[in-house]
Structure 1
Amino acid sequence: MLVRAFILFCLICFTPLAQAQEFQTTASHAVILDYETGEILFNHNGEEPMPPASMSKLMTILMAFEAIDRGALSLDDELPVSEHAWRTGGAASGSSTMFLEVNSRVRVEDLLRGIIIQSGNDACIVIAEAISGSEAAFAADMTARAHELGLSSASFANSTGWPHPDQVISAADLARLAAIIIRDHADFYEIYSEREFTYNGIRQFNRNPLLATMNEVDGLKTGHTQDSGYGLVASGERDGVRRIVVYNGMESERARANEGERLMRAALADFEVVDLAVAGAIVGEADVFLGQAETVSLRLNDDVQVGIHTRSRDVLRAEVVYPGPIAAPIAEGDVVARLEVSGPGIDTRSYDLEAAEDIAKQGMVGRALAGLGSLFGGN
């Protein structure tokens, strides 16, 4: 028998209005991530792999940053522009470009700005070939490194985000990737807020629309193809709280800009991380069968944090679930139940609950009396 018991934390109550209050978006895929805790505050198809277009370049840039950190590249290195980089990503390609000239050499520092600010496909390929020998090898390395970082939805077929069936990643993993860049490469992250970059006499502007409309926003990367629609990975900070917004599937640049501003304003003002309980807290008890005590206290193994919209703060639901009653003997520390937390706009979270004390088995006489009671009581 599966036993379910509701728990009422100090911040939890129940109301039928929860679903009506849930935040919505017109994007096909969207997440809001709290940078400090890694909590997903809002999730709309956020774990579903999607074509990321030029938002893929976040992984290309991370690979470049890491190559610089380990000494494989330096900012002053001058890298050659191959015919493949020029033809596939240069002016002749008709795609986003840094306007590199074939057989020229370009400083790594300029290439970084060409990717981050100008979204240059040619710059991506130059970096890819320098690090891994070929763009195909680099794409395989990108995928492997993403998986090492826990970005399990990621699959890359190129360095640029050019449409390909194997070029996918979820909005949630893009948000986690952005958090890694911000946390581990703070010096380079400053480039993402630069509004323009001129190379080879050609001035281009940062395509992130929120840099012009929201002072809090300082990155990161737009994306657009016919398959993916218009998307954005954006990060902003207000009063020491940083949030990352990722969304995709918008129909136009204007729609992307408008929805991005709405999502970021909500991310910074309307969502929060709620601390429900700390590891070690006793959150309930479970019935015990044939034990020297009738119940055992249940203790949390982990902190319980939930990211929610502020309107849903009072609509969380917590439930202790265990197969019960639990047969004695029970040793302190045994995982005997779980805590399930659910609410509007969040997936159900499950946390292990362990026995907070030892419960010895009843003696022979006690077991016999319990058996007789069960027989005559009809239980």
Structure 2
Amino acid sequence: MKRFLAFLLVACTALHAAAQAPQPPEAAARHYILVDVTANRVLAERDADAPSDPASLTKLMTAYLVFQALRDKKLTLEQTLPVSKRAWDERKGDPSLMFIDTTMTPKVDELLHGMIVQSGNDASVALAEGVAGSLDAFVGMMNRQAQAWGLKNTSFKNVTGMSEPGHRSSARDIATIATRIVADFPEYYRYYSVRDYKFNNIRQDNRNLLLRRDPTVDGMKTGYTDAAGYCLVASAQRDFPNGKRRLLSVVLGTASREARASESQKLLNWGFTAFDALRVVEAGKPVATVPVWKGAAKDVGLGTQAPVVATVPRGEGAGLKTVIERTDPLVAPLAQGQRVGTVKVTTASGTPVAEAPLVVLQAVPQAGIFGRAWDALRLWIK
């Protein structure tokens, strides 16, 4: 009887929590996910792990690897690249194009505009060949990166997103790729907010309709194939009293350009209004000061390298609790940034809403031989 009553209490608590959680708006998309990028939390989802045709959302991974090559100095924005016959052949089948040809040597910067703003398949091929030497090698890089991130529902067969057997991803995996671009390459994220681009005397609009409708939307990518339907990754950053907040939505399988834009807008607006983002821990500021053994200093401050932001239903932030789990004892030497535990944030009922690595804020070298010996004795007694 006691076990039954305990089970009933847990079940009722879970049902109450579910009833209190904000409910997302009705969505016409087959699959979607809404992520609070600032707090690293999923706010809503529908079949987010279902394998789907990613269409031109594939180009998010293509772009990530090009940005990586730029960071690693393997390419420069002013560098020119040849246009191969393989890139020229992308004109077959009436796909999205930048309209480059084999007589041209466009700059990497131009090709990035062509791939991101105009969704050019030809630009994607030219960039992939410029980074890896061949499309097969570049696709291999894409799949290795997906595996490194643990994207279990993603398998790339090409760099453009054209439908072919085995080429698939999911709303959750696409959201991961998009958020990695935001986090890892903020200097290149600007390409996703460009509303139109002219190349070869042909001006094309960015197909992300929200760039013109919502001033807080600054990216990211559209996609369409017959198999995928109309898809959109949309990201918006808005100002709040406690700082800037970014949300990102992935909408797959809608019926039209207008539908993917309106569904994305509904999700973003709901996420910003239904939840509060509370900055619980400031980056670089100690959340605890603890003893150090065998060190030149007797204690050290522990904190986080990035702010810890907790997203909770609007008005429910008062009961948040912060719990520190750490290594004990801390023995020098300790390096600045060395992880020694975890900061966890929970609601009053114990539901986890955020966590971050707990790190050493200042390096602590070893003490001299006598200091180490004394602390070794104290540890032994302890």
Same fold (TM over 0.5): yes
Alignment-mate amino acid for residue 243 of structure 1: L
Partner of 1:178: 178
Runs of 4 or more above 6 Å deviation: none
Partner of 2:66: 64
67 and 263 in structure 1: CA distance in 2 versus 1, 3 angstrom threshold: same
Question: Could you tell me which residue of structure 1 aligns to residue 245 of structure 2?
Answer: 241
Q: 1:44 to 1:156 in 2, by over 3 A?
A: same
Deviation at 1:17, TM superposition (A): 4.6
Contact 1:175 1:246 in 2 (8 A): yes
Q: Which amino acid aligns with 2:187?
A: D
The two structures, once aligned, show a CA RMSD in angstroms of: 4.0
Output aligned runs, 1:126-145, within 5 Å.
126-145=126-145
Report SS of the residue matched to 2:67.
helix
Between structure 1 and structure 2, the one with the greater Rg is 1
- Could you say which residue in structure 1 is the equivalent of 2:273? 269
Q: Specify every segment of 5 or more residues in structure 1 that has no aligned partner in the other structure, as ranges.
A: 277-303, 315-339, 352-379
The superposition leaves residues 296-327 of structure 1 with CA deviations (integer Å, 9 ceiling, x where unpaired) of xxxxxxxx99866659x69xxxxxxxxxxxxx
SS at match of 1:187: coil
Distance 1:16 1:221, change over 3 A: closer
Query: Match of 1:30?
Result: 32
Give, in whole Å, the separation in 2 of the partners of 1:21 and 1:72.
46
Letter aligned with residue 197 of structure 1? Y
Conservation of the 8 A alpha-carbon contact between 2:99 and 2:200: yes
Give the secondary-structure state (helix, strand or coil) at the position aligned to 1:160: coil
Q: Secondary structure at the match of 1:186?
A: coil
Change (3 A) 1:219 1:21: closer
Higher strand share: 1
SS at match of 2:188: helix
Displacement after TM superposition at 1:23 (Å): 4.0
Specify the SS of the correspondent of 1:150: coil
Q: 1:272 to 1:167 in 2, by over 3 A?
A: farther
Distance verdict in 2 for CA 1:13–1:19, change over 3 Å: closer
1:218-257 to structure 2, matched below 5 A, reads 218-239=218-239, 240-257=244-261
Look up the match of 1:52. Answer: 54
Write the letter of the residue equivalent to 2:122: D
Q: Does the CA contact (< 8 Å) of 1:53 and 1:225 recur in 2?
A: yes
SS in 1 for 2:204: strand
- Give the direction of change, closer, same or farther, for the CA distance of 1:40–1:133 in structure 2 (3 Å limit): same
**Shift in CA distance, 17/267, structure 1 to aligned 2, threshold 3 Å:** closer
Aligned residue pairs, count: 302
**Structure 2: 5+ residue runs without aligned partners?**
281-307, 318-345, 356-382
User: Does structure 2 retain, via aligned residues, the 8 Å contact 1:41–1:308?
Assistant: no
Q: Percent identity?
A: 34
1:151 positional shift: 2.6
Distance 1:134 1:197 in 2: 27
Distance 1:26 1:308, change over 3 A: farther
